Amino acid sequence: MATPVVPQFRSGSQTTSSTSQSVINETITSYQYRTGYSYAASGHNVKATLDSINPTATTQTSQTVGGVNFSWTSPNLESIPRWQIVSEGAAFSIQETLITPGLDTVTNITRTITTSQTSETTSTFGQ
C-alpha cells in the first residue's frame, strides 16, 4: 500500500522568470526615378537664335533597375537652342543646365531592431 506524502511546510512561494530576445535585421532600398527632363538657360548679353528655348521631346525609353520597370522621355539635343551675343565685344555669360531622365538616387537604409521581453510569475501557496 502507498504511503501518503505529507508536506512539512505550511506556506511558500515559487517565482519563475522567463526572458526572450528578438533581433531583426532590416534593409530597405529605395529607388527614385526622374521620368522627364529639365532644361534651363540663363545669361546676359545673349539671345536664342530660335523662338523657343524648350527642346522637343523624343520617343520614350524603357529600363529595368532592381526589378522595377520604368520609362522616360528624353529631349532631342538637336533642338536645344543656339545662342548668339547681342553686343559683340561686350561681356557676356551663358549657363545651360540639362537634367536628363533616368535613375536619380538610390537610398539604402540598414537597421537592427533588438527587443527583449521578461516575464516573472510568482505562485503563493499554503496548506
First-last CA distance in the chain? 25
pLDDT for the residue numbered 26? 96
Average pLDDT over residues 72-98: 87
Total domains, the chain: 1
Q: Is 124 within the bounds of a domain?
A: no
Query: What is the residue whose three cell numbers read 522616360?
Result: 72
Q: Is 34 within the bounds of a domain?
A: yes
- Structural domain containing residue 51: 25-110
Cα angle 5, 8, 13 (rounded to 5 degrees) comes to 105
Over the stretch 11-48, which tens digit does the pLDDT of each residue have?
788 899 999 999 999 999 988 888 778 888 899 999 98
Q: Is 97 within the bounds of a domain?
A: yes
Cell digits of residue 16: 519563475
Question: DSSP code of 86?
Answer: S
Q: Is 20 within the bounds of a domain?
A: no
Indicate whether this model's pTM tops 0.85: no
Query: What is the residue whose three cell numbers read 545662342?
Result: 83
